[in-house]
Amino acid sequence: MSASKKLTKKDITMLGLRSSFLQASFNYERMQAGGWLLAQLPALEKIYADDKEGLSLAMTDNLEFINTHPNLVGFLMGLLISLEENGEDRSLIKGLKLALFGPIAGIGDAIFWFTFLPIIAGISCSFASQGLIIGPIIFVGAYLTIWVLRIVWTHMGYRLGTKSFEMLQENSDIIANSATILGITVIGALIASYVNINLLPVISVAGGIEVSIQEAFLDTIFPKLLPLGYTLLMFYLLKKKQVSPVILIIGTIVLAIVCSFIGLL
Partner 1 sequence: MQITLMQGLMLAIAAIIIGVDYWLEALFIFRPLVVSTVTGIILGNVQLGLATGALTELAFAGLTPAGGTQPPNPVLAGFMSTTIAYTAGVSAETALGLCLPFSFLMQYVILFFYSSFSFFMAGADKAAEEGNVAKIRRINITTTLIVALSYGVIVFACTYLAQEPMANFVTSMPAWLIHGLEVAGGILPAIGFGMLLRVMMKAKYIPFFIAGFLMMNFIPMNNLLPVAMLGTAFALFDFFNAKARRTAIEEAIANNSGSTGGNKNVGI
Residues 132-151 binding partner 1 (CB under 8 A) are: 132-133, 135-136, 139-140, 143-144, 146-147
Inter-helix orientation angle 163-194/134-160, to 10°: 160
What angle is formed at CA 71 by the lines to CA 70 and CA 74, rounded to 5 degrees? 85
Stretch that binds partner 1, among 80-88, 152-160, 202-210, 222-230 (CB under 8 A): 222-230
One-character DSSP codes across 141-199? HHHHHHHHHHHHHHHHHHHHTTHHHHHHHHHHHHHHHHHHHHHHHHHHHHHHHH-----
Closest to 179 in 3D by CA, of 102, 120, 228, 113 = 113
Verify binding: residue 212, partner 1, rule CB under 8 A.
no
* Residue ranges in 24-83 that form contacts with partner 1 under rule CB under 8 A: 24-31, 33-35, 37-38, 41, 45, 52-53, 55-56, 59-60, 62-63, 67, 70-71
Stretch that binds partner 1, among 5-13, 87-95, 181-189, 209-217 (CB under 8 A): 181-189
What is the C-alpha separation between 167 and 156, in angstroms, rounded? 12
* Residue ranges in 104-133 that form contacts with partner 1 under rule CB under 8 A: 109-110, 113-114, 117-119, 121-133
The region that residue 130 occupies, defined by phi over 0 for left and psi between -120 and 50 for alpha, beta otherwise, is alpha
- Between 52 and 208, CB nearer to partner 1: 52
Stretch that binds partner 1, among 6-14, 84-92, 153-161, 255-263 (CB under 8 A): 255-263
Verify binding: residue 13, partner 1, rule CB under 8 A.
no
The region that residue 136 occupies, defined by phi over 0 for left and psi between -120 and 50 for alpha, beta otherwise, is alpha
Q: Which amino acid is at 8?
A: T
- Between 181 and 205, CB nearer to partner 1: 181
Q: Least distance (Å) from partner 1 to the CB of residue 5?
A: 22
Verify binding: residue 162, partner 1, rule CB under 8 A.
no
Contact 129, 115 (CB under 8 A): no
What is the C-alpha separation between 121 and 146, in angstroms, rounded? 14
E strands, the chain, where? Answer: 202-205, 209-212
- Between 8 and 56, CB nearer to partner 1: 56
Q: Least distance (Å) from partner 1 to the CB of residue 203?
A: 21
- Between 34 and 157, CB nearer to partner 1: 34
Q: Least distance (Å) from partner 1 to the CB of residue 237?
A: 8
Stretch that binds partner 1, among 5-13, 89-97, 174-182, 209-217 (CB under 8 A): 174-182
What angle is formed at CA 83 by the lines to CA 80 and CA 89, rounded to 5 degrees? 110
Verify binding: residue 199, partner 1, rule CB under 8 A.
no
